[in-house]
Amino acid sequence: MPLILGTNSIKDTGFDVSNSLRFNDDSTDYLTSPTRGTATSQKKGTFSWWWKISEIGQVRFIGTYENGNNEFQIKLTNDSQLEIVQIAGGANNLTLKTNRVFKDPASWMHVVFAVDTTQSTQSDRAKLYVNGVQETSFATNTNSMPENHSFHGFYQGLTQTIGRDPNTTSHTYDGYFAEWVYVDGLALDPTSFGEFNSDSPTIWQPIDVSGLTFGNNGYYLQFKQSGTGQNSSGLGADTSGNDNHFAVSNLTAVDQSTDTCTNNGCTLNPLYKQDHTFSEGNLGYTSSASDWDSAPGTIAASSGKYYCEMKVTATAGGTTRSVLGICDVRDANLVAESEFGLTSGTAGDNVGYGPGAVHKNNGGAGGTFASYTTDDIIGMYADLDNGKVYFSKNGAMQNSGDPTSGSTGTGAISITTGQTYLLGVTAYGGGASQSNFGSPPYAVTSGNSDPNGYGNFEYSTQNYYTLNTKNLAEFG
């Protein structure tokens, strides 16, 4: 299963992307550009974006223009291939569909699509790049655009939709976007937007693009603001200087995320088991099965101290059926078929806090733990250095636990040190929860960060850390 380990951590290079925008297909989230004015060029332009996908195997529109028999589409297919299509005058004169599939919900990726129809060589008129490398392997590669063709995606008088097919309410995107850029009038290669890490030359990372010449209709969406208006204070604010601000639909300040391409955050991993429902960028979880099913996270750690929260959002038949827990990564598939704490791990330990009790390796762990229900927030403190796990309910430590007690482990459940662990949740029969690994999918009223300044939690982290790649590189 795709997951992040310490060696995959994004290194701190001095340029940080502070925000992304989290799209939830269930609530039909999308952005709409203003109507385009006079273009710098209708023959040259470049799109660039970073994304972390959440839902696998569904048609998902990333960006699209429509105008009768003329249209430009960027989308993911049912087979998780990236497809770019232009139809002009009712005829399809460009289709690029990758052989590569995009099924990794754990990692950020970068895409550049550049068009220059003034090129004399037809194959040079449209180029696609993924993580800094030109894509050359296509399931479909049709390019009959004539020289000096006016590309539909650059037409003036049109609008662009990001995250949804503009003609229907279907095919909405589910996942994260960061650093969305359109350059009007230049066909750029990936080095205008990113670079390979000097210490790890296979790692592609973003660079500061604020100095680019964006052209008349160009824009730069950093998702730094949290308002819902189509202005410089909105989630869709254009920071290129052009004020081509996007309108937001069904997106609010809660959807502004700190899970980004320079600091990848943990989410739940839908690839472990797919007979339940994920939402909110794989932070919302609902069981649709008649048994216990679990969702381990995407980031594993073997050392360090980490904090996360789970908010119960629905019960199952009036009974709370949500669990927050931890498991040895070697047993994650077993846990996904059962419940954290109620699976006898064949390789390591697994622990889960359900209403009124904590279980470890299919047995009672003892201690005093309160019951909980809808809207309660359960906290977990995982001290992997000392092999101790603590739990809280609405900020109150359970079992008289003291996460600062180190090797003493006051009120803790003990786990084996030196192993690699995943955090995650369980639900049963319609029970549901939302997880907060640092970028909450629900409104937080208190606002608590970790000692490095990362994370936004309802309750104190007790000097434990957010599970993200920068903290993982330091501690994990």
**Cα dihedral value 249, 253, 255, 261, nearest 10:** 120
pLDDT, tens only, 413-470: 999 999 999 999 999 989 999 999 999 999 999 999 999 999 999 999 999 999 999 9
Per DSSP bridges, beta strands 81-88 and 91-101 are: antiparallel
pLDDT, tens digit, 9 for 90 and up, residues 231-247: 999 999 999 999 999 99
Classify each residue of 31-53 as buried b or exposed e, where b means 16 or more C-beta atoms within 10 Å of its C-beta: bbbbebeebbbbbbbbbbbbbbb
pLDDT surpasses 60 at 7: no
Q: Determine the pLDDT at residue 407.
A: 98
Instruction: Please report which confidence band the pLDDT of residue 68 belongs to, taking 50, 70 and 90 as the band edges.
Output: low
Q: Is the pLDDT of residue 339 over 80?
A: yes
CATH of domain 18-257: 2.60.120.200
Domain extents for the chain? 18-257, 276-475
- Mean pLDDT across the stretch 169-198? 94
The span from the CA of 360 to the CA of 462, in Å, is 23
28 band by pLDDT with thresholds 50, 70 and 90:
very high
Closest by CA to 378, choosing from 324, 437, 307, is: 324
Predicted confidence at residue 273, as pLDDT, reads 76
Q: Given this model, what pLDDT does residue 199 score? A: 86
CA dihedral 388, 392, 398, 402 (to 10 degrees): 50
Give one DSSP letter per residue of 33-46, joined into a string. PPPP-S-S-SSEEE
Q: What is the pLDDT of residue 337?
A: 86
pTM for the structure as a whole: 0.95
Percent over 90 (pLDDT), the chain: 82
Determine the CATH number of domain 276-475: 2.60.120.920
- pLDDT of amino acid 9: 42
Task: State mean pLDDT over 182-193.
Answer: 98
- Tell me the helix, strand and coil percentages in the chain, rounded to 5: 10, 40, 50
- Evaluate whether 18-257 and 276-475 have a shared fold: yes
111: CB partners within 8 A, 6+ apart: 47, 48, 49, 50, 51, 82, 128, 129, 130
What is the rounded average pLDDT for all residues in the chain? 93
Residue 2 has pLDDT above 90, yes or no: no
Q: Are 463 and 451 in contact (CB under 8 A)?
A: yes
- In whole angstroms, what is the distance from residue 322 CA to residue 354 CA? 6
User: Per residue in 72-96, pLDDT tens?
Assistant: 999 999 999 999 999 888 889 999 9
